[in-house]
Structure 1
Amino acid sequence: MFNLTFLLLLLNIQIHMASFMQSRCFWKMKQKEGKHGDLKKGCFFSPRTVQWPVDKEYFNQILNIQTPTENYKYALALAFTLDELNRNPDLLPNKSLVFSSYKDNCFGLSQLYSMSQILPQDPVFFPNYNCEEDIVCSVMLTGPNWETSAILLAYMDLWKSQQVIHLTYGSYHPILSDHEKFPYLYQMASKHTSLALAMVSVILHFCWNWVGLVISDNDQGTQFRSYLRRELEKNTVCFAFVNMIPINMQLYISRAELYYNQINTSSTNVVIIYGDTDSTLALSFQMWESRGLQKIWVITSHWDVTTSKRDFMLDSSHMTLAFVHHHGEISGFKDFVQTMNPLKYTDEYLARMEWMKFNCEVFTSNCKTLKNCSLNSPMEWLVVRSIDLSFSDGIYDIYNAVYALAHALHEMFLQQVEYTTMDNGKGHSSICLKLNTFLKKTQFTNPVGDRVNMNQKEEHQEEYYILQIWNFPHGLRFKIKIVQFSPYFPTGEQLHVYEEMIKWATGNTQMPPSVCSADCGPGFRKFWQEGMAVCCFKCQPCPENEISNETNMDRCVKCPDDQYANIEQNQCMHKEVIFLSYEDHLGITLGLIASCFSAFTTMVLGVFVKHHDTPIVKANNQKLSYILLISLFFCFLCSFLFIGRPNTATCIFQQITFGVVFTVAVSAVLAKTVIVILAFKVTVPDRRMRYFLISGAPNYIIAICTLIQVIICLVWLGTSPPSVNIDAHSEHGHIIIVCSKGSVTAFYCVLGYLACLAQVSFTVAFLSRNLPNTFNEAKFLTFSMLLFCCVWVTFLPVYHSTKGKVMVAVEIFSILASSAGMLGCIFVPKCFIILFRPARQISSKYQGKITFQN
């Protein structure tokens, strides 16, 4: 593993920048030795300062280092930052930060040293190295991986060094976040406290609920899985799988094929990768890419997703989304990189990087000298191919680290703190402690415009850019910002998506789906089976009269009583209110029938009144005939109380009127029957029944019978009177308004009482059927009561088998039929005789022998 180490020594403060990154194809170049001979004790250097401006060409030596191509951007970032600092008159005035580079194989590390010391120096004296065994307080800048910092900390402990202020760039790692164990360590990278929330927000925006997770099997991976799982469970998003890649290489190799098959066979299209870029996880990712796994990879910014495939096609099932911290672009850095000419470097290393990185098959002899390589151009290729200058977190971390150190030193200078080299290491701890105190309190706004706070204990919510990465052949890639996330906005407004920037080679602008189960559309609800994840479900139609008007509803919503579900069961429709009205054909028919019978009854009454002197009218008791006709007239009219929209008044009147009027009619028939029997009984001499006939006792039958029915009705009204009943369940899509009976017992008592009267009337009339029949109406009364009983006996089962307005129509029909039966059987024959057979009114046998009391 080769390492990139930047050593900045300011005021006897040594700054080291190291990197352990292996390149797939690395050509080791011959490095020149320092002119002062071999180095001692780990290659520590003594810094110097100059009192005049340093030319930019002075920093070219920083680029004459041995480092993998993908990490060369960090050397450029350091050179640019120090050059910018030296040109800033407001920061460290009258001093310049300079470098002296000495190349040697220092414990297998490629080192870069940056030095400055506050001592009056000869203007022509340039910095040199110092190999004293007692080393002063050091500041190390290491990265981009946390192992770099851990190894150097172990080296410092091994060398029994005093305190070392350690600044790291690259990804944040929880192992290095223990402030008690590492009080002098500062991680410039953010803590990813908002990363899980940002990822879940993007997942929800693209309607994904089925994702895979691949992490390293260490504390960092476990912690991130915990954060991510908590956010996913809040929003009903599930893991299709969680692969924890072991760090042990031997164990990883034994399981590598298993991990590949699990991802390849998984139904998810989205895989989140989180971990270190130089671990077995990185090897897995490279293998999956090389084997053509068509997934949407969700990564963080420090991952290198450059492909080396020569035959590459963009499609909608293969892409990479990178989460990058939101920060401004470092002004002038691109120009700085593009103006650096590799031909100025004497070791020819930089000029060969492109061949080393992308043309490993070229023979070594072909690129021994520059004339065999087409590299006579500035470093624009570096900007295009391997450096993303706008979104690189590592570059930004280095930029802030150097500025933070410069601000801390500047504050020390302003307070006239004396920092000089102590012989034999005296004062070392005090210097580091004071510098660490100033550094911890450092807060500033960098030239980009972002606020930097070096207090590591304070929690900061990060903002993110989400980049869509397009990989092209030969390592070329293109990043497009498609989403911006900010946790400082209200929930639901934290994500800003640049929809117009989401493009595919096929012209499609929609993200591929990644769901465990297809959406349940309106009219369906989700149904989970035991053992299934919450994101995996089946779709079931909503139950009757329930709807779901949204996608993926957990349960259907029951429609209100006045509404019903349509056929698609995605909308509640207002039910049609129905009742037996005059607008219905049935209502009109029954109304016309009732009107006709009422008119006919009036006509019969008129005939009887007109011919009241005729024997047939007198023989049938005029008073009872009038009472019966009037009661039948009201029986027909009470049918109209059942037609129309019911209300409380009509419900009460229709039942009470029906009961009382019919009681009058039936009791009148009973009275007529009794009178007929008495009339023929009195023809026999010495009969005591003559008294009852002359006294008019049978006329009290109507009053007594009606009074009993009135009492029953009053009890009915007092206990549970009839009321309006709104039936919203009997018929689908309809609300039926009918009159409820209130007390069913009272209703059947009314009917039962009428039945008793009818039965008595029928019995009496039946017993008098054999009497002389010239004026005997007993047979007609018998038939009328027989018809009356048949109608109401039939009414009961039919009434209970129907609902709604049909039930009301059945009751109206029974009223009309029974009333018409009595009218037809009793009065129609008499009207026929009066109007068409007047001669039959005189009976020779009984003429003048019978006298009736009116």
Structure 2
Amino acid sequence: TLKMFPLNFLLLFLQLCLLVTCHDDQNCFFQMERSYYKDGDIEIAAFFPIYIYLVDRMINIFKNHVTFKGFQSKNYQYVLALVFAIEEINKNPQLLPNVTLGFDLYNVMHSDMMVMQNPFIWLAGLEEDVPNYMCRKWSKSVAVISGTSIAVQVGTLLELYKIPQLTLGSFEPLLSDSGQFPSLYQMAPKDTSLALGIVSLMLHFSWTWVGLAISDLPKGIQFMSNLKVELQKNGICVDFVELIAVTEESYISLQNRFHIQILKSSANVVILFCDTDSLIGISFPTWERVMTWKVWVTTSQWDFASDEHHILLHSFHGTLIFSHHHGEISGFKNFLQTANPSKYPEDIYLLRFWLLVFDCSVTGASCKTLQNCPLNASLESLPPHRFDMSMSDGSYNIYNAVYAVAHSVHEMLLQLLEIQPVNNGAKLTFSPWQLHPFLKNLQFTNPVGDLVNLNHMTNLEAEYDILNFWNFPYGVGRKVKVGQFSPYASQSQKLSLSENLIEWAIGITETPRSVCSESCSPGFRKASLEGKPTCCFDCTPCPENEISNQTDMDQCMKCLDHQYASTERNQCFHKKVTFLSFEDPLGMTLVCTALCFSVLTAVVLGVFVKHRDTPLVKANNRCLSYILLIALIFCFLCSLLFIGHPNTTTCVLQQTTFGVMFTVAVSTVLAKTITVVLAFKVTAPGRRMRHWLISGVPNSIIPICSLIQLALCAIWLGNSPPFIDTDAHSEHGHIILMCNKGSVIAFYCVLGYLGSLAMASFTVAFLARNLPDKFNEAKFLTFSMLVFCSVWVTFLPVYHSTKGKVMVAVEVFSILASGAGLLGCIFVPKCYIILLRPEKNALKGLRDRRISKETDVLRCSS
């Protein structure tokens, strides 16, 4: 037995209720005939899944026990569509005149073992199924209409007799194989664009994390394969796949794990694909608890809204349904309104349906007399979940199938009449296989105006109406058209939706989201998680100077060199061109400092010129002092070349002027230091050192050292001179205009040569620092060169650790600091004595005057 206790209790209660409706303890519900027959000159056999039966094999080993499980009310509309189409054709004098259509209708079971029972009974013409035996000498049935899954199983049997078989279900690619099913014709248009339509809906609402509930038919598996390709192509991930049973055997094998994946899934959207033959209805009690917070996207081939289990209408509220687009058949709704057991007493299915939905009782030995029914009982009075008055896709396909058979027979009879005229009122007879040439290429326009084409090679793709299921008032479910999908429209217009008409699931007030990971906002990129689908990811900020300007970007985009990324990393801005300008606070400070030192140096030069005859000025070689002060003025002023908008001239003059001017200054210091040493080493008038001192040999150091530096600069400018360059990376949001030194080796040669002179001056001054004399400046020279060397030794690491404008500022600062060190250490003490302590600026004793005269030999002109 089936191990579903809640379901069995419900069905047991239903069976007890059915039993008490029969008088004399007769189970009338199960004693009724198994078929619905209407006589005609020619007939159409039909096999529809109207009842759900399950087979219990444990009751008897040799005979299966069949248990009634439910009435598929939505499938009963198929019966009425068949009757309506046949009555309409019989009333049409233009189609099959003088020929009446009839039908022979049977219910089919979902069991693989029992599905062939009624087809065998129909073929044999007996009450029991006898394989390979036909009791009737001639059958009036010229074609068979059945569901898709039934056609797969029954098609091989019917092919033995070449009986045309028309299917009412959705298009099945497997059945289009003319080699395997040459006698089978599918009425539904192709569903090749269904997967694209569903994916378009997912993309419209940005649903990237979905689940699949698919029937275990080959068509369901094929659809799942096509859908996964489209989903993957558009970046949508599948969290789970749930198989829906179609046959009793597969239902039993799957029931233990039914819906577990749906319950556990974090996906809020589930794509449900199954057909009219699915057994999903019997598992409704377990589906109720998984529906409430899910958004279901399904097709009209399985329409939950027309099932008797109204307990699920609340849970299915907000479902989106893809239904084949077709015109409305006039007269069908009025036909449904007037259909009742009194009008069609031979319709056993209508009688059973009336018993179930209106709680009637039945009397009589034949169990066909109804009592205690409501006075206003009609199909229209039923809520949509019990019976839907709008024509379903399956009913529309049945309507077209009946017309296809009628048109084929009509054309065949016309052809036969031309070949063999009928006399004495005799009727033409033919075999079902003779219809195939007419059915294969049949193409006609039905009464609605829609084109019907049975050739699967030229069959068109389906267009879809998108319906939204509403369940208000509560318990009265209805479907509202909210959009459509057409594969023939342009890419941007294939899907059209009226979102304001969509009602979502209970408790959801805005468009639901179904994602594995929340979207990465601009400024971030997706980082995949190991072992997870592509829709599951982390959000990582974009690296420096890279942006992402859209959501869910896989990679960040690098800004161009002339652009920079915003702090949010979501857009690139054009960089502002900048340089160390005179208006810049740093540049203004350095300019003011340079000018102040230049003026101060000029003032010192003025003081020395004014007091040129004083012992202190004369004792330290006035000419070298003047040269040094003038060189310092130019050293301070050359720093201005580093500030302002760079151009070719300033770039060439910056380093060369700096190198030459400081070479003059340092070589002057070296000459002063050597002069002091020579002055104190002269002890006798005849010595050669005295001759060097008197002849001014130390003064030649200045032009010699300067010429060497000029030669280095000339080589530099000749091979790789400085040029204007840009730095787009040192300062965020700015492109810095700067002077590129050209040859870095030449630059360091100039700087190294200048450092060598400084070290030589420092060494000589350090050795002469303790020579006795009141006006000895060797100590000041030593200290000045110590400051000078310290500044430029510190300059090298600081210079290489900075970028952009700061690098230029460091070099300017080093120029000013080293120049200020020379000015301050050498001349400030002398100016202090000259201006504030004049009493110290005087000769005391003859010896002092004699030494002063000897050292004064070094004046510039005498």
Q: TM-score, length-normalised on structure 2?
A: 0.78
**What is the CA deviation profile of residues 752-800 of structure 1, one whole-angstrom value per residue up to 9, with x for unaligned ones?**
2112212222333444456674665444433332332233233334434
| Number of the residue aligned with 1:654 | 654
Give 1:322's aligned amino acid. Answer: I
Question: Structure 1 residues 375, 726: closer, same or farther in 2, change over 3 A?
Answer: farther
**What is the CA deviation profile of residues 252-309 of structure 1, one whole-angstrom value per residue up to 9, with x for unaligned ones?**
325412123232222223333333433444544x343355643433332121313545
CA distance, structure 1, for counterparts of residue 603 and residue 286 of structure 2: 103
CA distance, structure 2, for counterparts of residue 105 and residue 244 of structure 1: 25
Give 1:73's aligned amino acid. Answer: Q
**Deviation of residue 684 (structure 1)?**
3.0
CA distance, structure 2, for counterparts of residue 245 and residue 508 of structure 1: 27
**Deviation of residue 187 (structure 1)?**
0.8
CA distance, structure 2, for counterparts of residue 566 and residue 104 of structure 1: 73
**Deviation of residue 668 (structure 1)?**
1.9
Spell out the pairing of 1:89-108 with structure 2 (5 A cutoff).
Answer: 91-92=94-95, 95=97, 98-99=100-101
Give 1:496's aligned amino acid. Answer: S
| Number of the residue aligned with 2:461 | 461
**Deviation of residue 719 (structure 1)?**
4.7
SS of structure 2 residue aligned to 1:510: coil
Unmatched runs of 5 consecutive residues or more in structure 1: 26-66, 113-130
Question: Structure 1 residues 151, 279: closer, same or farther in 2, change over 3 A?
Answer: same
User: Does the aligned pair in 2 maintain the 1:342–1:379 contact within 8 Å?
Assistant: no
Task: Count how many residue pairs are aligned between Structure 1 and Structure 2.
Answer: 781
| Number of the residue aligned with 1:21 | 50
**Deviation of residue 441 (structure 1)?**
2.7
| Number of the residue aligned with 1:249 | 248
User: Does the aligned pair in 2 maintain the 1:135–1:425 contact within 8 Å?
Assistant: no
CA distance, structure 2, for counterparts of residue 788 and residue 368 of structure 1: 124
**What is the CA deviation profile of residues 104-129 of structure 1, one whole-angstrom value per residue up to 9, with x for unaligned ones?**
999858999xxxxxxxxxxxxxxxxx
Spell out the pairing of 1:216-235 with structure 2 (5 A cutoff).
Answer: 216-235=215-234
**What is the CA deviation profile of residues 150-199 of structure 1, one whole-angstrom value per residue up to 9, with x for unaligned ones?**
43762573xxx4x3333222333344322123323211012321121112
User: Does the aligned pair in 1 maintain the 2:562–2:735 contact within 8 Å?
Assistant: yes
Spell out the pairing of 1:797-808 with structure 2 (5 A cutoff).
Answer: 797-808=797-808
**What is the CA deviation profile of residues 570-628 of structure 1, one whole-angstrom value per residue up to 9, with x for unaligned ones?**
44566666654434443322221111111122223344455656666566555433332
User: Does the aligned pair in 2 maintain the 1:3–1:19 contact within 8 Å?
Assistant: no
Sequence identity (%): 54
CA distance, structure 2, for counterparts of residue 420 and residue 477 of structure 1: 56
The answer to whether structure 1 residue 77 and structure 2 residue 106 are counterparts is no
Unmatched runs of 5 consecutive residues or more in structure 2: 1-29, 55-70, 109-116, 123-134
Question: Structure 1 residues 383, 392: closer, same or farther in 2, change over 3 A?
Answer: farther
CA distance, structure 1, for counterparts of residue 496 and residue 149 of structure 2: 32
| Number of the residue aligned with 1:299 | 298
**What is the CA deviation profile of residues 670-723 of structure 1, one whole-angstrom value per residue up to 9, with x for unaligned ones?**
223334445566673223345444544433322211121122223334455445
| Number of the residue aligned with 1:818 | 818
Question: Structure 1 residues 703, 386: closer, same or farther in 2, change over 3 A?
Answer: same
User: Does the aligned pair in 1 maintain the 2:446–2:452 contact within 8 Å?
Assistant: yes
The answer to whether structure 1 residue 289 and structure 2 residue 287 are counterparts is yes
Question: Structure 1 residues 215, 761: closer, same or farther in 2, change over 3 A?
Answer: closer
Spell out the pairing of 1:428-577 with structure 2 (5 A cutoff).
Answer: 428=430, 432-433=433-434, 435-458=435-458, 460-471=460-471, 476-504=476-504, 508=508, 510-561=510-561, 565-566=565-566, 568-572=568-572
| Number of the residue aligned with 2:209 | 210
Spell out the pairing of 1:235-384 with structure 2 (5 A cutoff).
Answer: 235-245=234-244, 249-250=248-249, 252-284=251-283, 286-290=284-288, 293-294=291-292, 295-305=294-304, 306-309=306-309, 314=314, 319-340=318-339, 343-346=342-345, 352=351, 355-359=354-358, 363-364=361-362, 369=369, 372-376=372-376, 379-381=379-381, 384=384
Question: Structure 1 residues 350, 811: closer, same or farther in 2, change over 3 A?
Answer: closer
Give 1:133's aligned amino acid. Answer: K
| Number of the residue aligned with 2:7 | none
**What is the CA deviation profile of residues 653-683 of structure 1, one whole-angstrom value per residue up to 9, with x for unaligned ones?**
2222111110011112222333444556667
SS of structure 2 residue aligned to 1:164: coil
User: Does the aligned pair in 2 maintain the 1:170–1:189 contact within 8 Å?
Assistant: yes
CA distance, structure 2, for counterparts of residue 704 and residue 476 of structure 1: 111
The answer to whether structure 1 residue 147 and structure 2 residue 150 are counterparts is yes
CA distance, structure 2, for counterparts of residue 4 and residue 302 of structure 1: 24
Give 2:45's aligned amino acid. Answer: H
Question: Structure 1 residues 399, 382: closer, same or farther in 2, change over 3 A?
Answer: farther
CA distance, structure 2, for counterparts of residue 634 and residue 716 of structure 1: 21
The answer to whether structure 1 residue 631 and structure 2 residue 635 are counterparts is no
CA distance, structure 1, for counterparts of residue 427 and residue 648 of structure 2: 106
Give 1:74's aligned amino acid. Answer: Y
**Deviation of residue 221 (structure 1)?**
2.5
CA distance, structure 2, for counterparts of residue 464 and residue 3 of structure 1: 36
User: Does the aligned pair in 1 maintain the 2:211–2:267 contact within 8 Å?
Assistant: yes
CA distance, structure 1, for counterparts of residue 98 and residue 723 of structure 2: 100
Spell out the pairing of 1:566-645 with structure 2 (5 A cutoff).
Answer: 566=566, 568-572=568-572, 579-609=579-609, 620-645=620-645
User: Does the aligned pair in 1 maintain the 2:267–2:514 contact within 8 Å?
Assistant: yes
CA distance, structure 1, for counterparts of residue 758 and residue 349 of structure 2: 122
User: Does the aligned pair in 2 maintain the 1:5–1:111 contact within 8 Å?
Assistant: no
Question: Structure 1 residues 351, 273: closer, same or farther in 2, change over 3 A?
Answer: closer
Q: TM-score, length-normalised on structure 1?
A: 0.79
SS of structure 1 residue aligned to 2:519: coil
CA distance, structure 1, for counterparts of residue 603 and residue 817 of structure 2: 18
User: Does the aligned pair in 2 maintain the 1:631–1:665 contact within 8 Å?
Assistant: yes
Which 10-residue stretch deviates more, 480-489 or 824-833? 824-833
Of 122, 133, 138 in structure 1, the residue corresponding to residue 137 of structure 2 is 133
CA distance, structure 1, for counterparts of residue 658 and residue 35 of structure 2: 107
CA distance, structure 1, for counterparts of residue 382 and residue 99 of structure 2: 26
CA distance, structure 2, for counterparts of residue 384 and residue 217 of structure 1: 28
CA distance, structure 2, for counterparts of residue 705 and residue 660 of structure 1: 9
Alpha-carbon RMSD across the aligned residues, in angstroms, is 4.3
CA distance, structure 1, for counterparts of residue 683 and residue 205 of structure 2: 107
Question: Structure 1 residues 619, 20: closer, same or farther in 2, change over 3 A?
Answer: closer
| Number of the residue aligned with 2:710 | 710
Question: Structure 1 residues 645, 331: closer, same or farther in 2, change over 3 A?
Answer: farther
CA distance, structure 2, for counterparts of residue 147 and residue 70 of structure 1: 17
CA distance, structure 2, for counterparts of residue 657 and residue 609 of structure 1: 26
CA distance, structure 2, for counterparts of residue 291 and residue 818 of structure 1: 86
